[in-house]
A and B are shown apart, each in its own frame.
Chain A
Amino acid sequence: MSAGRVGVGVLLAALVAAPFVPMGGMRQYIFHVLIQIFVWSFIGGAWALMGRFGLVSLGHGAFLGLGAYTTTLLWNFFGLTPWLGALVAVVLTAALAVIVAYPCSRFQVIGHYFGLVTLAVGEVVRLLIIAERDWTGGSLGLTVRPAGADSLVAVQFADKRVFYYAALVLWALGLWVWHRVDRSMARSAMEAIGEDETAAASVGIHVTRFKIAITVLSAVLTAVGGIAYAQYIAYVNPDTLAGIGVSLRIVFAVVLGGMYALLGPTVGTALTIALAEVLRVVFGITYVGMAETIYGLLLIVFIIFLPSGIYGSVRDLLRRRPRSQPAAPVTA
């Protein structure tokens, strides 16, 4: 375990020191990719908080979009700083999460049905954003109003390094929340609920309360991720921040990495973003759609051949080896 700790320390030090490494002309691009990986890993981790307990949401775009649009609209129309806007957004997202989660757990909507209900919620948010086009710009999206100069109040900075550190902190925060949930009593309770709700209730677990709590936590973190992404990109669009497309992308990245491991969502997100970037660079704009085509094909192949995710499979392989050695003398 100590070797693992050292490895983590080195990795963290490298990530913190990265902005001071000379990278020449690639600097902006590399930071752009890294920031995206951190933010989407954070969002993936937030999704996995629910997903690992069998609450497979196909509509996290709803929370993402609600968060991003709330802060952006409040800033654009009322000049409210995104810091306070984020507070409003978090409250709204938590409310939406309760509105979805309470009836879902009350009426035992689970499995396929839970997935499809959340999918509908995601589509409702996307369509509402498009329908209110006088405010939101409809499907054309909306640019975050520029503050003119670097401003902490507006959370706008010309230097990508500021966003890099912010995204790194956000990502670490997400891992910490995951770790806390993983070590808590709530985890055992949620696992019991995921296995069999009736049995869990019969041993005194308050099913509804736990489900609502984990959904609200997951939704709020997702909204924070959406706000961070909107502030960084300075542009919001209903198709990239709400609806079925982005919701499925989040789930994909997490399942690809492995949703039962701390770093699973990060590994999956890093791989999907890296893959998308490589394909985009290789095919450029000459073959529109080719990059995404290969992306889709690889996702199918990965899911068929690595059902427990890349990180999960690799970790299982590594764990199996040391265990098989001490077992050998016993049988001999």
Chain B
Amino acid sequence: MIDPIFLAEAAVNGLLLGGVLALLALGLNLIFGVIDIVWIAYVDLVMICMYAVYFLVQVYGWPIWIGSLASVGLGALLGIAVHVLIISPILGSAPVNQLLATGGLLFFLQSFATFLWTTDHRSVRLTLPTLEYGGMFLSFARLVAFAVALLVMLGLFLFLRHTYIGTAIRAVSQDREAMALMGANPRTVYVVTSAVGGALAGVAAALLIIQYSVHPFFGAAFGPLTFMICVLGGLGNMIGAFVAAFIMSEIISIGGVVWSTEMGYVIAFVIFIIMIFVRPGGLFARRA
């Protein structure tokens, strides 16, 4: 029998991980909802930003918050670059080709990172305390990451609700053709969406590097999980993705303590597959 304290600790850790996963899923979901393309390489962009924070903070000694801001900026630039260089030439192509183009980007980023930085695991060593509460040990870094993730998501919500471009983004995700008829330029919306999605990847990178070490295959570890969260919540559905992130992270965290890390993922993926059959439109889809 497993000590209930361990289970509680796993549940809290799952909750904290869920915050960062939700941020990732929202970024990917935003892009999917607007441009209708799944960026297979999304988490690999996060990996590149994680390296950026690592080098700025650990090697050049910048303060972590400046490193994080730089990561956000880099993420936005990468997002725009991906859209302009890869996505916009193939907007009219078959969905397989669109998926594979970003899949090619995945291979490129993974191997280029291997080439530049080898497969060593690198981490930012911050001296953050560990909190003890009722026998549970909680990492302060994770608490900070969770809080920042929630704040950024709130910011994203306000941006989409209360700015002109945010409204345009929501409009495109509802009806692409009607949007163009209303006189808005979908191209600008696409570029802004890619930049915002990339910036969210940058934020996630800054929050992940203080908890995990980065290596070229980081994207392979978190990528499939991120897609599944998006689909589970309903592709393009922000609130669904938010809830799904916490469900998946709890399963992985608790499953990891009860069985093994891999089994935690296996259970999460199997539940994902079953959920697709039961509720194909996502957790909160209205039945047609």
The interface of chain A, by Cβ under 8 A from chain B, is: 51, 56, 58, 103-104, 106-109, 111-113, 115-117, 119-121, 123-124, 127-128, 130-131, 244-245, 248, 251-252, 255, 287-293, 295-297, 299-300, 303-304, 307
Contact = CB atoms under 8 A, between A and B. Distances in A.
Mostly, the B contact residues are: helix
Given A127-B262, A131-B266, A300 B106 contact: no
B93 A120 contact: no
B104 A300 contact: yes
Contacts of A124: 266, 269-270, 273
B114 A292 contact: yes
Interface string B211-249: 000001000100110011001000100000000000000
Nearest to B259: A131
The 6 closest A-B pairs by CB, nearest first: A296-B108, A292-B111, A289-B115, A289-B114, A296-B107, A299-B104
B182 interface: no
A303 B97 contact: yes
B82 to A, nearest CB: 10
Contact of B104 (A108, A245, A303): A303
B68 interface: no
B270 A107 contact: no
Contacts of A292: 107, 110-111, 114
Contacts of B259: 131
Interface string B97-113: 10111011111111111
Nearest to B271: A120
A23 to B, nearest CB: 31
Interface of B: 38, 40, 86, 89-90, 93-97, 99-101, 103-116, 118, 216, 220, 223-224, 227-228, 231, 235, 259-260, 262-263, 265-266, 269-270, 272-273, 276-277, 280
A245 B280 CA distance: 25
B221 to A, nearest CB: 11
Contacts of B103: 248, 251-252, 299
B269 A123 contact: yes
13 contacts: A104-B277, A107-B277, A113-B276, A116-B38, A121-B273, A244-B224, A288-B118, A289-B116, A296-B105, A299-B104, A299-B108, A300-B108, A307-B97
Given A289-B112, A304-B90, A120 B280 contact: no
Given A108-B280, A123-B269, A296-B105, 10 more contacts: A107-B277, A120-B269, A124-B270, A244-B223, A248-B103, A248-B107, A255-B97, A292-B114, A293-B115, A297-B108
Contacts of B108: 293, 296-297, 299-300
B112 A116 contact: no
B277 A131 contact: no
A327 B233 CA distance: 54
A46 B110 CA distance: 27
A109 B266 contact: no
A295 B114 CA distance: 14
A75 to B, nearest CB: 24
